[in-house]
Amino acid sequence: MSAFVMNNKENIKTLIIKKPLKLDCGQTISDYPLAYETYGSLNENKDNAILVCHALTGDQFVTGLNPITKKEGWWSYAVGPNKSIDTNKYFVICANVIGGCMGSFGPNHFDQKTKKIYGTDFPVITINDIVNAQVNLLDHFEINKLFSVVGGSMGGMQVLQFVSNFPERTKTAVPIACTSSHSAQNIAFNELGRQAITADHNWIDGKYSSKNIVPDKGLAVARMAAHITYLSKKGLQEKFGRKLQERDDLKFGFDADFQIESYLRYQGSVFVDRFDANSYLYITRAMDYFDLVKQFGGNLSNAFKNTKAKFFVISFTSDWLYPTQENKDIVIALNAIGANVGFVEIESDKGHDSFLLDVPDFLEALKNFLDKSYIE
């Protein structure tokens, strides 16, 4: 039986988007669901809204208790009353990306034409498509201009694409630990994950839902491989080193002798309970296809030439997945057109995941930027 079932629909706010959206792959979609969540209150002037864009395995449940997984929201450290993104002050909106598996239009949805679940017949989507779908939420709330658009990792890619597509629709932009195009190394890691999923005999060319099974082994391995890239060598060494897992000595077998093995296996096993394998294929594909440099004829600056938004780019010292230099390249492109841009590299040994964790310097920098920009 599939471990991932959308059976708590009453806890998911969904907007049906009537407006047709032409996808980059050439197909057009309409009357599709966009699942979202909001925090805080929209003020009378409608100028306190922040669009938070989630990363690969995130969803719309940014903070507080996720009603589906019953776990804390993925950005509870940063979003909430009196936190960096203060929900007493700001109206926070987050949409589940199209292609996702928390209520938005994705591969586990029913195709009205074929009367079957889409699976891999779902159209291939891009970051551009994701952003063009999300903007419908602003129209729904009648928000002409956001105060800010904020996101880390794949969320940061969406921030860059949003400002490029809708240069007048946000006052500020905060891309965190991201890049303007995926490197060969990043594509390689994503491909490793996709191959793990498609090699699982339960995948059945993406049609596993019809058989009530799930490629859980492949998806777990994909998560394990990806999870390593979110950490740092120093962080792993300090946390685990060569410590053994609940044993005094090596067992001379293939059980988890080391704590790090047990930790990775656990990360893989809990992931399959909350994520859809086909969604993993589609969203990693969207990340790999993201190339704002190519989109603008080899000149990244041209992506931002029409915006007056104030940027704040944030990177982390130990992030080797989206290293500081790739974040600096965004700053350089913005400087080249005289854009208003600030940049900070945060010292942290927590790797790429630093933006999701309790890193006080980061949380303070984010809060200061937003609060100061809000009163300007």
Q: Is 201 a catalytic residue?
A: no
Residue 62 tokens, joined = 């940014």
Q: How far apart are CA 245 and CA 13, in angstroms?
A: 42
* d(C-alpha 157, C-alpha 326), whole Å: 12
User: Which residue of the set 279, 348, 352, 354 is catalytic?
Assistant: 352
Per-residue tokens: 222: 């994909």
Catalytic one of 76, 84, 104, 153 = 153
Q: Which residues contact 147 (CB under 8 A, 6 or more apart)?
A: 47, 48, 49, 50, 90, 170, 171, 172, 370, 373, 374
For the question of residue 54 being annotated catalytic, the response is no
Which residue in 86, 276, 319, 349 is the catalytic one? 319
Q: What Cα–Cα distance (Å) separates residue 278 from each residue in 124, 202, 369?
A: 11, 12, 37
| Catalytic (active site) residue 200 | no
Catalytic residues: 153, 319, 352
